[in-house]
Structure 1
Amino acid sequence: MILAMDIKELTRAEEQVMQELWKLQKAFVKEIIEQMDEPKPAYNTVSTIIRILETKGFVGHESFGKSHRYFPKISKDEYKDFATGKLLSGYFDNSPQNMLSFFVQERKLSLKDADALFKLLEKAKKK
């Protein structure tokens, strides 16, 4: 398991590539590009981003001659935990209540969303 302090923040472009790799689990650069929205980035751009992600410890690869098939070394859940913690500490003073209040007031949670949250809280209470 990777510690949160070992995880580095992703740039927007890196995160886009990781989102596709998390879905695919193992992929060559061309397969990642095929999954991306239009306009598709250039092969060299995605290849460079993948190499940066390898340097940051997010991605590993298997060699097939001169080709490489890439795979995530950090799970989406591990990165989600890191990013949420960063958001919570950086913008909401480490207060889940402040964060939830923001979403209720600014993002206008629907009654359906609020009901689902209450059910989660009730379930957590019972544990």
Structure 2
Amino acid sequence: MEIRSLTRAEAEIMKILWHLKKAFIKDVLAQMPEPKPAYTTVATFLKILEKKQIVSYNTYGNSHEFFPLISEEEYRRHEVDQLMDNYFDNSVANLVSFFVKEKGLEDKDLDELASFINNKNKKQ
């Protein structure tokens, strides 16, 4: 299945669904910060997410209980792949060097990254 990128509002709803595992619209609304959107707005976004094949639902009478079709990890992987492809020529070195230069990684961060790489290499 092809994963499509989410808008900010769609991602906010998905974060709630990933956390709750399954939810009715009222449950999603209850988790949203103030000012809360209208019930119909959340319903519209959930319909869009359904069309994108990111959520599905079970029907109980007139109510729909929504649940994610992809995990947060799968979506995160998709977004990083898109970022790497679109901005960093699929180069991890380019991505890391960007963060080192632009985000001012501290020595602690670099040490953690080096430790992760060393541990990964030892396991291979």
**SS state of the match for residue 63, structure 1?**
strand
2:83 corresponds to:
87
**Structure 1: gaps spanning 5 or more residues:** none
The letter for the 1-side match of 2:35 is P
Residue correspondences, number:
123
- State the Cα RMSD in Å: 1.0
The letter for the 1-side match of 2:53 is G
Match status 1:54 vs 2:50:
yes
Using the TM superposition, give the Cα deviation of residue 112 of structure 1 relative to its aligned residue in structure 2, in angstroms: 2.2
> What is the TM-score of this pair, normalised by structure 2?
0.94
Runs in 1 of length 4+ with deviation above 3 angstroms? none
The letter for the 1-side match of 2:68 is P
Using the TM superposition, give the Cα deviation of residue 36 of structure 1 relative to its aligned residue in structure 2, in angstroms: 1.4
Give distance in 2, aligned partners of 1:21 and 1:55. 16
**Structure 2: gaps spanning 5 or more residues:** none
Give distance in 1, aligned partners of 2:42 and 2:107. 41
- Identical counterparts, % of pairs: 47
> What is the TM-score of this pair, normalised by structure 1?
0.92
**SS state of the match for residue 18, structure 1?**
helix
Give distance in 2, aligned partners of 1:112 and 1:32. 37
Task: Give the alignment partner of residue 60 of structure 2, picking from 64, 71, 75.
Answer: 64
Match status 1:97 vs 2:93:
yes
Give distance in 1, aligned partners of 2:33 and 2:110. 32
